[in-house]
Chains A and B, each alone.
Chain A
Amino acid sequence: MKKIILDSLGKSQHRGLNFRDMLYNNEARAFFFQIVTFVLVVGLFYTAIGNLFQNIEERGINTGFTFLKNRAGFDILPFLGNYVVDYTPESSNFSVFYVGLINTLVVAFVGIILSTLIGLFIGIARLSNNYLVAKLAGGYIELFRNVPILLQILFWYNLFINLFPHPKQSFAFFDIMFLNQRGLYLPKPIPEDGFLLVALSLLVGIIASYFVKQHYKKKHELTGIHTSTWPFSVALILGLPIIIFLVLGSPLQFDIAVLGKFNLRGGMNVVPEFLALTFALSVYTATYIAEAIRSGIEAVDKGQKEAAAAIGLTPTQSLKLIILPQALRVAIPPTINQYLNLTKNSSLATAIGYPELMSAFGGTVLNQVGQAVEILAMAMLVYLVISLFISLLLNYVNNKMAIQGR
């Protein structure tokens, strides 16, 4: 490489710069290519944006973000976002964005936890020495991995509303929780005066127990005397808030759902759209996580398992203490990528009418206002930020998990 450049430079010194030499000069060529690409890309953008403005003006489409302040004027399926924002049809379009964002995040959050649990379970089950369990886990992966996620969302939703009973015959759990085709009804906590103190005492308890633990850890390192800290932790984290709670005279009430004429009324209604969507996404994503965990476990050296058995660990101990910690090092990066996929796939909620970002804001508001550029830009920005956040998490984990050479 260097030789060629030197050669050509030498030649050009010899004969002076001419076009032919320029053509064969690598640096000149690189410069030329970059300029051309730059001009092409910028030109393309310039024309596209120019056309965009011209088209918007011709069609009389509004521009700018003033539409966010306008009245939304439509109902949204009541769920977490509605409660947090206190949404009514009188609210602004920006509240719709906010409602959608909250609903997206809650699906992503619950979905990530659930899919990890299922994935872990299936991944381990796949390698079980129980023939039936291993085959079932394999069947699960082959079945749910090879059906488009949109179909699965529709399937679970329709199954849910068809399988569970009418509100009048709800499954009741001790008459405080109810499950029926309209969703899951949980008691709704209503904090009264003084509940803040209880919450604060919990926080204090957690912080205090951390310091206690640090203290005894230091002592253990210095003196070798081991003290188990869990009684202190329990006392601080659970005891302290409970005492304060009782002293203040139970400042927390629960609103429990009761059967009205048609529906259960009151309580906290977790709508079936949410349950079905989260479940579908978790079941689907879990197949990928299970495969990641399986390949992680298979990547652990066989000797490790044998060594664990040799020092007398039970299979459960060996899995927990020896195999999984090493397997996770391989399994976690692809798993975190799946978290991003799960969050992106939550945008398919529009098919069953769960009001997340792309269905409430990117769908209904877009149809009402028609300002596709602004609305889609906002939605894409949210997903960009989420994905950036997950990439940062991935980098952090990769650094943390890297085998530390000493």
Chain B
Amino acid sequence: MKQLLKLSAASLLVVGALSVQASTLGDVQAKGYVSCGVSKGLAGFSSADSSGTWTGVDVDVCRAVAAATLGDAQKVKFVPLTAKERFTALQSGEIDMLSRNTTWTITRDASLGLNFAGVNYYDGQGFMVKSSLGVSSAMELSGAAVCIQAGTTTELNLADWGKANGIEYNSVVSDTNAQTLTNYDAGRCDVLTTDASGLYSMRAAASDPSEHVVLPEIISKEPLGPVVRQGDDQWFNIVRWSLNAMITAEELGVTSATVDEVTNNPERERLMGRSGSTHEYVGLTPDWTYQIVKQVGNYSESFERNIGINTPIGIARGVNALWTDGGILYSPPFR
């Protein structure tokens, strides 16, 4: 694997170096849309609704960047990608950014010619089993058949974890989320393993959600976030700070409904671009953050709209709550 990674890293680096000749921001503004790689369908993170509109927390990051750079959150071209295709698509320039529940690891960050622009969801790999199996801990899973998706860190984490704990398993590998879930739901395997968020999303999609339990063990850290190509710092900053703007907006209590209210909180006024000159540093118009909050909403709005307690996915904020609320979500200040 390491050799493979090195190989692909070497090849990708060259591609990266080639494709950054023009500035991505200039490209995007010339094209009139942001080309954003998303999942082929992971309920709550990126999925298309009945009219073909993409929704989800990953999708909202793409929309935030479009709102910031083009002033219109609708000007996104979504490119659905499988886990295996995602990095090549970014490197070849087919997409401008990737927002596809992608785990931030040192290998990907440092050797693939990519940059992670932040974390929009703190996750960890977990297991889901049918409650009828009577299993209450992942340690009891020796001999089970495990459904996993090809080309993900999940595959590698599982191997590590199995080795460390002396647990043998049969892996049933599928190409897409949908097929993984179908396999598990039908009973082709006993255990489904993926990021905990994915587990909740897939549990909601199972034929009878109440039949399945998510086991308590979380065997890995999976910080998921948007990714850009290496070598274009301006674009990197735009994506990173678009996400930060959503988090800061929640911290300051600005929502899409209250964004037009003028207050005398200086930080809030700075965030809304009504004072200060942060916009100049990233090369955008003064209202870029205003447009993000106005059109996409703050982090909390996006979360609750797509995967929150009141949606079929039903995920609690947990560690993804703001640092002030006991979570670890934290944005550097807008100053």
Contact = CB atoms under 8 A, between A and B. Distances in A.
Please tell me whether chains A and B touch each other in their complex, using a CB distance cut-off of 8 A.
Answer: yes
Interface of A: 58-62, 67, 70-71, 73-78, 89, 158, 161-162, 166, 181-182, 260-263, 265, 272, 350, 352-353, 363-364, 367-370
A162 B172 CA distance: 16
B88 interface: yes
Contacts of A73: 1, 4
B174 interface: yes
Contact of B15 (A59, A70, A74, A158): A59
Contacts of B183: 161
B11 A70 contact: no
Interface stretch (B138-146, B214-222, B314-322): B138-146
Interface stretch (B185-193, B227-235, B286-294): B185-193
Given A368-B8, A370-B8, A74 B150 contact: yes
Given A75-B173, A353-B174, A161 B188 contact: yes
Given A60-B13, A181-B187, A262-B144, A158 B182 contact: yes
A261 B190 CA distance: 11
A132 to B, nearest CB: 34
Q: Most chain-A Cβ atoms within 10 A of its Cβ — which of B4, B172, B179?
A: B4
Contact of B7 (A70, A162, A265): A70
B140 to A, nearest CB: 8
Contacts of B175: 350, 353, 363
B312 to A, nearest CB: 23
Given A59-B11, A70-B3, 12 more contacts: A58-B18, A70-B4, A71-B1, A75-B171, A75-B173, A260-B143, A261-B143, A350-B175, A352-B179, A353-B172, A364-B84, A367-B85
B170 interface: yes
Interface size class of B (residues with CB under 8 A): 35 or more
Nearest to A363: B175
Contacts of A89: 159
Interface in B276-330: none
B257 interface: no
Contacts of B142: 261
B20 interface: no
Contacts of A70: 3-4, 7
B133 interface: yes
- 3 nearest A-B residue pairs (beta carbon): A60-B14, A73-B1, A161-B186
Contacts of A261: 140, 142-144
B186 A162 contact: yes
Contacts of B88: 367, 370
A263 B144 contact: yes
Nearest to B171: A75
B188 A272 contact: yes
Contact of B190 (A77, A262, A272): A262
A76 B179 CA distance: 16
A353 B179 contact: yes
Contacts of A166: 187
25 contacts: A60-B10, A60-B11, A60-B14, A62-B11, A70-B3, A70-B4, A71-B4, A74-B150, A75-B173, A76-B173, A77-B173, A166-B187, A181-B186, A182-B145, A261-B140, A262-B133, A262-B144, A262-B145, A263-B143, A263-B190, A353-B173, A363-B175, A368-B8, A369-B4, A370-B8
Contacts of A74: 150, 155, 173
Nearest to A78: B170
Interface string B154-174: 010001000000000011111
Contact of A368 (B4, B10, B171): B4
B32 interface: no
Nearest to A75: B171
A277 B79 CA distance: 30
A193 to B, nearest CB: 30
A369 to B, nearest CB: 7
B80 interface: no
B151 interface: yes
A133 to B, nearest CB: 33
B211 to A, nearest CB: 13
B65 to A, nearest CB: 26
A77 B186 contact: no
A73 B170 CA distance: 16
